Chains A and B, each alone.
Chain A
Amino acid sequence: MRKASSTQQSEIVGYTVVRRDTDTNASLEVSGQWLRDARIKPVEQVVAELESRPVKRLSILPVELADWDSRLPSYLLKIADYCVAKAIELDVSAMPQGVQDLLALARAVPERSGARRREERAPFLANVGNSVLNLIEDSRQLVIFLGELILAVGEVLRGQARFRALDLFIFVQDAGPNGFPIVSLISLLVGLILAFVGALQLAMFGAQIYIADLVALGTVREMGPLMTAIIMSGRTGAAYAAQLGTMNVNSEIDALKTMGISPMEFLVIPRMLALVLMMPLLTLYADLLGILGGAAVSYGAFDVSITQYYHEITKAVDIVDFSVGFFKSVVFAVLIAIAGCMRGMACGRSASAVGDAATAAVVDSIVYIVVSDSLITLILNQMRI
């Protein structure tokens, strides 16, 4: 508080006065303290005053000018720009030598023509058009990425892809075992929730035993693969985008290309392989935990014995249901890897671009996952599988 009041008492002020010497000559007197915190009349007002009665020549005169810092030259630079635009002769020779030198330095290198970027508010329709063009560009990138990826997969199948086995192990470790805790927690809880929601309805007509069917079918065919995929897109897809994005920022991807090593084979393939290998296993594990969660609810809250529950499950799901879940998890793995790696490879060269890439990777992969899940479920439904 003391500080605030003291600055109020001794306020720092810089003054400007426009004086008209003759019809064509004017002078601008600057006085007082021209410091960073000083209160000074906005330069626009001075320009407006000059504008009101145009002159041919303007002199800047110091009158009891005390301290000054960058505030003064920047103020004068603005006036100098105005003078150049209006072809007014500007005389600063009365100012302190330091001010003159700084002004001369600021004007030594003329602004590069076309260097300044104008911030224009685009009209609404232009924005719409731009978003459509961006969308088309994004799709084009995706097609190019997919094409290169397919070629790289071809190399893998021919056994000629170049990547380090060690990398693959690291990615497998990261995408598989390291994901256990979160997958365990989420799938157990989803199993519990599924059981509770269903059981409340089923208990109304005494059909609690069918909780087992509901949980088992729901988990194995839908929730297991879906929840695992969503966890992995946030855990691993985002990590891939950030890793590749950072490598891009650091020119590491350029370095690989100029070494004649395809980044697609060296960086993308091991990541995708790791996900494709680990996701089905994680999904199976999630299925198991989801069913366990259902068992806890049926046994604990609805008086279904574990044996009954187990027996009901063996009747409810067969190998076909597991295959459906398995198939879905492979599809999701490929989609997560594509979204993560593509966004990472197309990342811009700044810290915020890496963040954007990770965000976009997660958004993309969740969209891909949910849309493809719906499509697969629809098709399987039509085929009565």
Chain B
Amino acid sequence: MTTAHITVDHLTMAYGDFVIQRDLSFTIGRGEVFIVMGGSGCGKSTLLKHLIGLHRPAKGQVYYDKQNFWRADAEQRIKVMRRIGVLYQSGALFSSLTLAENIALPLGEFTGLNKAEIADMVSYKLALVGLAGFEDYYPAEISGGMQKRAGLARAMALDPEILFFDEPSAGLDPVSARLLDDLILSLCDTLGTTIVVVTHELASIFAIGTNSVFLDPESKTMLATGNPKKLLAESDDPRIIQFLTRGEGRGDKQKGVL
């Protein structure tokens, strides 16, 4: 049993009166690859926003280690946020800055490194994601997959304790998606980074996930939490089985009569 890194306690998420998900409680252990999964539109990305400090919960708490994230004052919250890195779905690179400047930004702001050291660090991070030599390109000049990898390089710039990924393999070809999965795993192994991935790519879920939470859009709450392989083997909830087997677990098609 690993120690808890992030604890979510009876979290309810809502936009105004419109509840997205209610009563979410789960624990993300240190060094785990934690998957947030569920069908489209169930609030996976919204949950991510609550974890990284972009959206205040309607009810419930989020703890980082023992610290209550949303009860803490702004300064402490920012301190927590500097320990995390986020890869957004679109990459979210600063479009007016080159890739090098994008990655150098957090380094320049939060470390005492000098210019040459920052440039070395930037080159190293870009090389890690397979973009060596692209320092002086603007985000608009490279492909979507490359933007995503550059976004990852920026998210890793400060060697964060926790990395969040929002749909990392969306829009990537299968080989690049696989390489990204491998990269995530090696980050987890070598640096002990805790990783939270929002995804519905089954291949990734089973390849990298060591723990997960399953959100259901209909009942607006979580159905299960645990290792995805174990969920597949042991769960008796048809919705989970259907999701994890691409619907093949229940193949009763009706023909003729509607």
Which residue of chain A is the closest to B55 with respect to CB atoms? A254
Q: Is B78 in contact with A260, judged by CB distance below 8 angstroms?
A: yes
Q: Is B217 an interface residue (CB 8 A)?
A: yes
Does A377 belong to the interface (CB within 8 Å)? Answer: no
Report the Cα distance A255→B254, complex, angstroms: 47
Q: Is A52 an interface residue (CB 8 A)?
A: no
Number of B positions contacting A (CB below 8 A): 31
Q: Which residues of A contact B253 (CB under 8 A)?
A: 104
Asked if B217 and A112 sit within 8 Å, CB to CB, the answer is yes
- Asked if residues A250 and B105 are in contact (CB atoms below 8 Å), the reply is no
| Chain A residues, Cβ within 8 Å of B105 | 259, 261
Is the pair A104, B90 in contact by a Cβ cutoff of 8 Å? no
Asked if B246 CB lies within 8 Å of chain A CBs, one says no
Cβ contacts under 8 Å, B257 to chain A: 89-93
Contacts of B256 in A (CB 8 A): 91-93, 100
A residues less than 8 Å from B79 (CB atoms): 260
**Docked pose: A238 CA to B106 CA in angstroms:** 29
**Complex Cα spacing A80 to B257, Å:** 11
Kindly state whether residue A318 has any CB partner on chain B within 8 Å.
Answer: no
Please, how many angstroms separate the alpha-carbon atoms of A252 and B151 in the complex? 11
Q: A162-B109, A250-B95 are in contact. Are A258 and B255 (CB under 8 A)?
A: no
A104 and B252 CA atoms in complex are apart in Å by: 12
Is there contact, CB below 8 Å, between A103 and B86?
no
Inter-chain contact A251/B89, CB cutoff 8 Å:
yes
| B93: interface (CB < 8 Å) | yes
- From known contacts A90-B258, A92-B258, A252-B94, infer whether A258 and B106 are also in contact, taking CB-CB under 8 Å: no
> Shortest beta-carbon distance, A359 to chain B, in Å?
22
Majority secondary structure of chain B interface residues (helix, strand, loop or mixed): loop
Hey, what's the 0/1 contact readout for A75-108 against B, CB within 8 Å counting as 1? 0000010000000011111000000100110010
- Provide the B90-113 mask, 1 if CB < 8 A to any CB of A, else 0: 101111000000000110011000
Taking CB as reference atom, which chain A residue is nearest B102?
A: A255
User: Given A257-B54, A259-B81, A104–B255 Cβ distance below 8 Å?
Assistant: yes
Contacts of B90 in A (CB 8 A): 250-251
- A107→B256 CA distance, assembly (Å): 12
Size category of the A interface is: 20 to 34
Contact across chains for B255 and A251 when beta carbons are under 8 A apart? no
Q: Would you list which residues of chain B between 34 and 53 have a CB under 8 Å from chain A?
A: 41, 49, 52-53
Q: Give the most central of A100, A255, A261: most B CB within 10 Å.
A: A255
Q: Which residues of B contact A259 (CB under 8 A)?
A: 81-82, 105-106, 109
State whether A260 and B92 are in contact (beta carbons under 8 Å apart), knowing that A80-B258, A93-B257, A104-B255 are contacts in the complex.
Answer: no
Residues on A with C-beta less than 8 A from B217 are 112
Bound CA span A93–B95, Å? 56
Interface on chain A toward B: helix, strand, loop, or mixed SS? mixed
Across the interface, do B82 and A255 meet the contact criterion of CB distance under 8 Å?
Answer: no
A252-B94, A254-B88 known; A260-B81 Cβ under 8 A: yes
Q: What separation, in Å, do the CA atoms of A251 and B95 have in the docked complex? A: 11
> Given the known A-B contacts A250-B95, A252-B92, A252-B95, are A104 and B84 also in contact in the complex, defined by CB atoms under 8 Å?
no
B255 touches A252 (CB 8 A): no
A89 to B256, CA, bound (A): 12
Shortest Cβ distance from residue A249 to the other chain B in the assembled complex, whole angstroms = 9
List residues of A (141-179) whose CB comes within 8 Å of B's CBs.
Answer: 162
Closest A residue to B157 by beta carbon equals A259
Please give me the residue from chain B that is nearest to A106 by CB atom.
B258
Given the contacts A250-B92, A260-B81, A255 and B255 also touching, CB distance less than 8 Å: no
Cβ–Cβ < 8 Å partners of B53 in chain A:
257-258
Chain B proximity mask over A236-270: 1 for CB below 8 Å, otherwise 0: 00000000001100111011011111000000000
Which residue of chain A lies nearest to B88 when distances are taken between CB atoms in the complex?
A: A251
Question: Contact at B92–A254, with CB atoms within 8 Å?
Answer: yes
Interface flags, A104-144, vs B, CB<8A=1, else 0: 10010000110000000000000000000000000000000
Chain A residues with CB under 8 A of B110: 260
The 5 closest A-B pairs by CB, nearest first: A251-B92, A93-B256, A255-B92, A260-B82, A260-B78
> Contact residues of B with A, CB < 8 Å?
41, 49, 52-54, 78-79, 81-82, 84, 86, 88-90, 92-95, 105-106, 109-110, 154, 217-218, 253-258
**13 residue pairs from A and B, CB less than 8 Å apart:** A92-B258, A93-B255, A104-B255, A104-B258, A112-B41, A113-B218, A252-B94, A254-B92, A255-B154, A257-B81, A258-B52, A258-B81, A260-B78
